[in-house]
Structure formats: C-alpha cells, structure tokens
Structure 1
Amino acid sequence: MAQQTEQSEHRSLYPPTEPYETGFLKVTDIHTLYYEQSGNAAGNPVLFVHGGPGGGTSPKDRCFFDPAVYRIILFDQRGSGKSTPAAELKENTTWNLVEDIETLRKQLGVEKWVVFGGSWGSTLALTYAESHPSRVKALVLRGVFTLRRRELEWFYEGKGADMLFPDYWEDYINFIPVVERGAVMDAYYRRLTSEDEQTRIEAAKRWSTWEMATSHLYINEEKVKKAEEEAVWAQQFARIECHYFVHGGFLKSPNQLIDDVDKIRHIPATIVQGRYDIVCPMDTAWQLHKRWPEAEFHITADAGHNAQEPATRSRLLDATDKYKHL
C-alpha cells in the first residue's frame, strides 16, 4: 500500500566518513572507473548508484548508510565524476554499465549487496537487478525513472514541465532554433557532440541548468550555479544524459524495466517518490508500484526530485536502516 509521508521532524544524514580504500578499475581500453569503499570493511555491502547518467558521486552519498554496519561502495560510471576519460560517449551504454557493476562486484569479492539508486540511479539499479537478481539482497529506489518516451518528452521536449518552470524553460529552449524544436533532444545532441568546444560547453550549461533548477521543490541556487559555472561537470552531465536519452536508454523495449519486474518481485525493496517531482514525475513510480505491490512504497508529500529534501532523505535513511542486517 502507498504510504504518504507527512511529518514535522526529519532525520539527518549519518556523519561524514572517509574512504578506507579508493581505486581505479580499467574496464575497457577506453574507460577506467573510479571506486571507493568506506564504513565497515567487514560489514553488509551496499552499492550506491548515482544519477544522471553523468552525475558522478559525492562524499555526501556515503552518508545515507550507517558506517558502523555497512561496507559502503561508490563508483563513478563511465565518463562521470573521477572516471576517465571525462564525458566520453564511446562504449557507453546501459548494458556496459550493468557489466561494469558485475566487474566491480567480482573485483571487490562481494557475493550479494544492497543496491541503492535514485533518478537515473534507479534505472540502472533496476536494470542491474533484473539482469542479476541473485546478486541483489535488497533495493532502495528514489525518483523512479524508466526512460519511457512519455517521461523524456514531459521534461525535455516541452510536453509539461515547461509550463511549471517557464522562466528556466526559455533559457533552455531559446538555445535551439525554432526550426529544430520539433525534436529538442536531438537538437541538443548535435550541439553536445559538436566539433566546436564552445558550442559543446554552452549547450551543456543550458541543459544542466534546466535540470538543476527543476530538481528541488524550492529552487536550489547552489545547484544552478554549479551547472552555470562548472564546464567539465556540465559536459559530463549533459553529454552523457543526452546520449542515453536520444537512444532510449539502449533498452530492449520502451517499457522493459516495468515489464520485467516479475524477475525481482521476490527481492525486498523500498521505493521513495516525491509527490512534486518534476524531473521524474510520480506516474512512473506509481506504475512500478502497481506491478510490484510487494515493494514498500512511500510518497513524500512535501518533496520534489532531490534525495536531500528532508522527507525524502528521512525515508531513504529508514530504508537503509531496514536492510542493514540482511
């Protein structure tokens, strides 16, 4: 049953912790992945799957997990964060990333782990779990995203989100000539893959600013500033996102992740969804919930898309506590 969360007191993240190991894992001739481990080296393994794609990890991501109990594993997906080469699109598909997770699992000697992912991280977590269900102890999913065409058009093609944030939408859409606005993602992809560096950078900043501005219930100016000023990060985020989105996430069918949920219905799971999520609207999480009634489903009543919004953060912490002794 859906549980709508309305509470006046919210939980804080676990205290910051430093990695006890960092490393780089070469997965192809082109790509090398950054990974790290923190918390309890002998503890319950948990894999944090970051969003975007292209978003990369940050130290705060470790803090969703009790460091006394969890062996906390973070990695930057191909082209993201500290992985190299930055913003590289070659050999960069969903299935490459699923294979990378398995390679990392074997490299670290993990038999099974809890998998935690939000936004695109929920997409990749679902894809991985449906591909390797025997390796997943539990799933924690937030801001569910399955790359159905309807989801992409709502946010990037002027089919809904533009009416809620018309001011920021103008900055995003005005970069594209009117004649190309029938396929906005394709138009951005041409510019994000341009031979001209300044064209790539400007396109990346416009794309990333639009997403950062809409990712919170209340606009987070710090995130908007990051998109506007950090050219390397903006290119990682925008180029890789757009690459995945114009290719339908490289999924076998538009509804694959929801259609294949029977493969994982036996796995304990918690889904947390912001009621006012503009980036990944609640309909997707709702459709997944209907196909997967065994999973615990929480609607946070006063939250948008971001994991750090108080009600969402609290429910995610409750979920990781629930699974820490599996």
Structure 2
Amino acid sequence: MQATDTSLDPTPSPPYPAIEPWQRGWLPVGGGHSIYFEQCGNPHGLPLVVLHGGPGSGCSPRMRQLFDPARFRIVLFDQRGCGRSTPRGECAHNTTDDLVADIERLRRHLGVERWLVTGGSWGAALAIAYAAAHREACLGAILRGIFLTGPADLEWFFGGAGGLFTQTWQEFDRAAPGDRQRALAERLFDAVVGPDVMVAAEAVRRWMQWEATLDGGSPAPPPEFPDVDTQTALLAKYRVQAHYLRHACFLGETRLLELAATLGSLPVTILHGAKDLVCRAENARRLHRAVPGSRLRIVPDAGHNPFAASMQQALVDAAAHFLEPSE
C-alpha cells in the first residue's frame, strides 16, 4: 500500500538536506524490463537500499533525505514497471520473485557486499521476502507501516474501513463499475486494467482519494490530473498495483509470516504508526511475534506517511542503531 503526503502528524521538512545522486543508471533485469537506480550519500558509508511502496509507486527525491548522507551509501531504485523503470506499467514478467531477483542483481552490479534493507508498506513486505531469500547479503532490516499482503489487509482497506468515512467510501465504490454483488476490489482492479481510459482514470482518482482519506484521518477531495502525462503515469502505477493486489502480492499473509520467521538472528526493527488506518498496527505486532528478536516501535501520532514528523524521527533513530559499533 502506498503512503500519501497527508498525515495525522504535520509533515515537516525531511531530517536531512536535499541531495543529488552521484550515480544514476538503468539495469536490464530480463523479461524486457530495465530498472532505474541511483546512489546517493557517502560512497564509503554503510550501504542501505530503500524499497518503495505501492506496489507500483517508485522512489522519490524525499526518500534520499530520510537517512544521514554523511554515513550511509543510499541506494534507491524503481521496481519493475514503476517510476522511471521501463517499460512503465508493464505487468508481464513482474512478480515478487522477479523483484527479489532484481534486488540481488542490483546488489551484485553495484559491488555491495552486504547492505541494510529498508522498506515501508509494500516495501516492507518485499524487504522480508528479499531478506529471507538472501540472508547472507543483509546487515539488517528496517520495516515500516507493515502490510501483510493477505485478504485481511485488502478487506479492511477496500471494505471494513469504509465505516469510518462512509460518504467517501461510497464515492469510491461508485467509481468501480459492474455488479455490486462483486467486491469493490475486484471491480476496481477490472476498471483500472480495462480498455476504457475514462473509467480507469475515475477509478484511480477515487482510489487516490480513499488513500488520502485514510492516511489523513479525514475526508479528502479527489485529486485532479493536470495533464495527460500525469494521468498516464498514474494509470500505469495503479495498473501495477492492481496486478499485485489481485495476486496477494504473490505472497499472502501466511507465507509472508513464514518467511519472516526464518530471519533468525538478523537485526530487524519494526516501525508502525499508532494511527495508521491504511495498514493497522496489529500487523506490526503480528510481524514482531513472528520475527525472533525483532524490535517493535509503535510511533505515536503517526499514520501511514513516512514523512510525518514522528515517523521521520523514528526512522532516523532506527538507522542510527545500525551505525553503532557491535559490542
């Protein structure tokens, strides 16, 4: 699931100044895909890879500012079909196993021996899948805004949470055409990937409105698409998201928690906003119980947005912990 720029906690400036990458590039990864990547911060610092949410979103310049550029070698990349990766919006040859393989391929391409893996929401689920498959390549993991990828998360987001903001949810429901006996999620996914661009665009607008409403804790207006390029990019983003959510992100809750339980002695920090309405805090508690020795911090006054003041500070604190010398 993707965080928006609204939050229950005011959104301040990021904790570190804006920086530009010292390397950008595209890495061919097979199946016709090439992933965009960038490196920022200290080339000799502790390697850290950031896994963005969505699924379908992409990395942003603000993500560079969540970690100390003097002490971390910060690697960001856009997952298959996302952001600046090509082809944009492509769902063929695009599964979680493919993404896990891409992360490892990128690590080897950059000559990184081991790195700290960070991710929020869908990025946290992907981080678990990667760390479980490549334990020896990981220094640890920082997982934020836990999305477990199973039916309970989707039923909450597309249904149960509707009781909190009934009118906004009804507008969301109406934007997904088809038999109302079918679940909103099923109708919505069909609309987003369907051939009617106008129907798809309205479904995406209401989907974004619903995300912003849950993340902000109050009804939000539907966004406007200022130009065709913006609409095209957003349709591609939500096409990838619909593809993943329709398939339980090729994981599912049971499998994800099984993978988490294999992490063993890997240092894992779990952060979750106490007021997160996109992914409920019980997800973080369940993950904490599944991961031996993990550290859990429920962050007061934070929702799902990583750029909320208290969540930003929690991320800074969690990253600093991995810089401390081992006893």
By the TM > 0.5 criterion, same fold? yes
Displacement of 1:193: 1.6
Counterpart CA distance in 2 for 1:247 and 1:303 is 29
Q: Structure 1 counterpart of 2:256, which letter?
A: L
| SS of residue matched to 1:32 | strand
User: Offset at 1:239?
Assistant: 1.3
- Which amino acid is the alignment partner of residue 41 of structure 2? G
Pairing 1:1-326 to 2, within 5 Å after superposition: 12-156=14-158, 158=159, 160-177=160-177, 179-217=179-217, 225=223, 230-251=230-251, 254-292=253-291, 294-324=293-323
Contact 1:12/1:314, CA 8 A, preserved across alignment: no
What is the letter of the counterpart of residue 291 of structure 1? A
Alpha-carbon separation, structure 2, partners of 1:36 and 1:226: 30
> What is the alpha-carbon distance in structure 2 between the residues aligned to residue 85 and residue 168 of structure 1?
33
Cα distance in structure 2, aligned partners of 1:151 and 1:241:
14
Alpha-carbon distance in structure 2 between the residues aligned to 1:41 and 1:172? 45
8 Å CA contact 1:31–1:83 kept in 2: the answer is: yes
Instruction: Flag structure 1 segments of 5+ consecutive residues without an equivalent.
Output: 1-6
SS of the residue corresponding to residue 303 of structure 1 reads coil
> Structure 2: which 5+ residue stretches go unaligned?
1-8
Q: What is the SS of the residue equivalent to 1:245?
A: helix
Change (3 A) 1:256 1:198: same
- How much has 1:13 moved relative to structure 2? 1.2
CA distance in 2, matches of 1:226, 1:63: 27
Q: Distance in 1 between matches of 2:201 and 2:253?
A: 30
Q: Say what the alpha-carbon RMSD is for the aligned residues.
A: 2.3
Structure 1's 323 and 145: CA in aligned 2 closer, same or farther, altered over 3 A? same
Q: Give the secondary structure class of the aligned counterpart of 2:176.
A: coil
> Which residue identity does 2:223 align to in structure 1?
K
Q: Secondary structure at the match of 2:117?
A: strand
Q: TM-score, normalised to structure 2's length? A: 0.89
Q: Displacement, 1:211?
A: 1.5
Give secondary structure in 2 for the equivalent of 1:279: coil
- CA spacing shift, 1:18–1:226, aligned 2, 3 Å: farther
Give me the whole-angstrom Cα distance separating, in 2, the residues matched to 1:226 and 1:105.
38
Deviations 1:175-218 (Å, cap 9, x if unpaired)?
A: 13472353222211221121232232222222222213322346
Counterpart CA distance in 2 for 1:208 and 1:228 is 15
Question: What TM-score do the two structures reach when normalised by structure 1?
Answer: 0.89
Say whether the 8 Å CA contact 1:112–1:136 is kept in structure 2: yes
Write the deviation string for residues 267-304 of structure 1: whole angstroms up to 9, x where unpaired. Answer: 11211111111111111111111222511111112111
Q: Please tell me whether the aligned partners of residues 276 and 303 of structure 2 are also in contact (alpha carbons under 8 angstroms).
A: yes
Q: Percent identity?
A: 37
Displaced runs of 4 or more, over 4 A: 217-221, 226-229
Decide whether the 8 Å contact of 1:205 with 1:235 is kept in 2.
Answer: no
Cα deviations by residue, 1:194-246 (Å, 9 ceiling, x for unpaired): 1232232222222222213322346777xx63778731332133211111111
Asked whether the equivalents of residues 177 and 191 of structure 2 are also in contact (C-alpha less than 8 Å), the reply is: no
